[in-house]
Structure 1
Amino acid sequence: MDSPAAFFDSAADAYDTDPHHGLITDLLLAGLPGTANAPGLVVDVATGTGVAAFAALRALDPARVVAVDISPRMVERAIAKAGAADPDGRIEWQVAPAVPLALPDGAADVVLCTSALHFLGPAALHDWRRVLRPGGVVAFSIPMAADFRPSPAFRDLVPADLTIPADSADAARLALDAGFADVQVATSPPAEPDRPRRAFLVHAQVP
């Protein structure tokens, strides 16, 4: 099997044609509490082509965004859009593994992860808990087990220690087990009626 970076490099050119990523991003940002507005630092984990990083600039007006992805090609495509979408250069792009994040403890106000936790596993949640300040907010999505039909190559990337949640309680438990509180779970509608890909949308806070 190709390395994870090579797998996502091969998907980069078509990434922005998939409406699922934009839908999930919009729903996650809309569900953030009002206290998340104008944060000092937003971290976009597994940023892909920067969909959530750019949306966070518009929705939250943060001082700074750190956007991390393991795929050089994904980040290259994001940077190509940054001249128009981030004219004042608030986004720092990092080609790096998502776990652990290269950030100090308690540095972030908001962590976003759209459509990628199922590649990272529970270790990512514990690392987000580490980098968030007290009162900081996490917003992530994860597929619903009933709609999760990955290709063999895709399935090989799902960590063995992650169980894809079947219901809202399972999704909430991922955050609770990592030490988060005030966990809220919603379910996304399919972005395409003929291709059901519902996801759980999870928002939680650091106590």
Structure 2
Amino acid sequence: MSLPAVFDATADAYDDDPHHRRIAELLVSGLQPAPTPDLVVDVATGTGFAALAASEVLTPRRVVAVDISPRMIEAAAANPGAEAIEWRVGPAVPLDLPDGAADVVVCASALHLLGAGAPPEWRRVLRPGGQVAFSIPVAADFSPSPAFAALLPADLPVPADEEGAARIATAAGFGSVRVTTTAPPRRSFLVFARVPA
């Protein structure tokens, strides 16, 4: 089974797990955009938690939310407030956006599914001074089933500490990196960074 098929199959129950909403809201609330963003991009949006939070909290002129799972996008588009967001079925790499188009990129609970090509792609679509906010599980708390682990990209190991999480951002050319760790039992690293101006 492919990752899109896995998430198509789990779309109806995805919102039952409060972890995804919590991580998305923490990422959006940790951003420091100024002034009002023209474009926020939510990569691997799932059922749209980060896109919806960004639309409400950041009040950008435009939100584009992308996911490879048609069922996830269908579920996201059924949420209250979803009409303000442009929902797209498509890959995370490459994004169908021009260079320097976005002010903010958010990726909640999905980088470990996307691989090492995703952060450089976020940097490409962000303008100078633009911000990224992403999460990734803490290695000690991440125990996928063997079948699911076989679907994950091998080029981006889940980090063991905040320094490892920060290196994901710096390796892609981001600066001003901040990392925090959520509370147990299911910890994630929250990484915030900027494209150098």
Which category describes the TM-score, using the shorter chain as reference length? over 0.9
Partner in structure 1 of residue 74 of structure 2: 76
Partner in structure 2 of residue 54 of structure 1: 52
* Residue identity opposite 1:140 in structure 2: F
Query: How far 1:105 moved relative to its partner?
Result: 0.1
Partner in structure 1 of residue 36 of structure 2: 38
Alignment counterpart, residue 98 of structure 2, candidates 100, 104, 126:
104
SS of 1:170 mapped into structure 2: helix
SS of 2:165 mapped into structure 1: helix
Cα distance in 1 for partners of 2:84, 2:26 equals 23
After superposition, what is the alpha-carbon deviation per residue over 1:46-70, rounded to whole angstroms, capped at 9, x for unaligned?
0011111111111100100110000
Q: Does 1:203 align with 2:176?
A: no
Partner in structure 2 of residue 121 of structure 1: 115
SS of 2:60 mapped into structure 1: coil
Q: Is the 1:63–1:90 contact (alpha carbons within 8 Å) kept by the matching residues of 2? A: no
Alignment counterpart, residue 85 of structure 1, candidates 73, 81, 86:
81
Cα distance in 2 for partners of 1:142, 1:157 equals 16
Cα distance in 2 for partners of 1:122, 1:80 equals 31
Q: Does 1:159 align with 2:158?
A: no
Partner in structure 1 of residue 141 of structure 2: 147
What's the C-alpha RMSD, in Å, of the aligned pairs?
Answer: 1.0
Q: Is the 2:44–2:92 contact (alpha carbons within 8 Å) kept by the matching residues of 1? A: yes
Cα distance in 1 for partners of 2:194, 2:3 equals 30
Percent pairwise identity: 65
Q: Is the 2:33–2:131 contact (alpha carbons within 8 Å) kept by the matching residues of 1? A: no
List 4+ stretches of structure 1 deviating above 3 A: none
Q: Is the 2:178–2:193 contact (alpha carbons within 8 Å) kept by the matching residues of 1? A: yes
Partner in structure 1 of residue 62 of structure 2: 64
The structure-2 alpha-carbon separation of the partners of 1:43 and 1:34, relative to structure 1 and needing over 3 Å to count, comes to closer
Alignment counterpart, residue 136 of structure 1, candidates 124, 127, 130:
130
Cα distance in 1 for partners of 2:132, 2:12 equals 28
TM-score by length of 1: 0.92
The structure-2 alpha-carbon separation of the partners of 1:151 and 1:6, relative to structure 1 and needing over 3 Å to count, comes to same
Query: How far 1:27 moved relative to its partner?
Result: 1.2
Cα distance in 2 for partners of 1:60, 1:41 equals 10
* Residue identity opposite 1:204 in structure 2: A
SS of 2:152 mapped into structure 1: coil
SS of 1:162 mapped into structure 2: coil
Cα distance in 2 for partners of 1:48, 1:185 equals 23
Cα distance in 1 for partners of 2:43, 2:19 equals 17
The structure-2 alpha-carbon separation of the partners of 1:136 and 1:34, relative to structure 1 and needing over 3 Å to count, comes to closer
Query: How far 1:34 moved relative to its partner?
Result: 4.4
After superposition, what is the alpha-carbon deviation per residue over 1:61-106, rounded to whole angstroms, capped at 9, x for unaligned?
010011000000000111112xx313xx331111011111000000
SS of 1:165 mapped into structure 2: coil
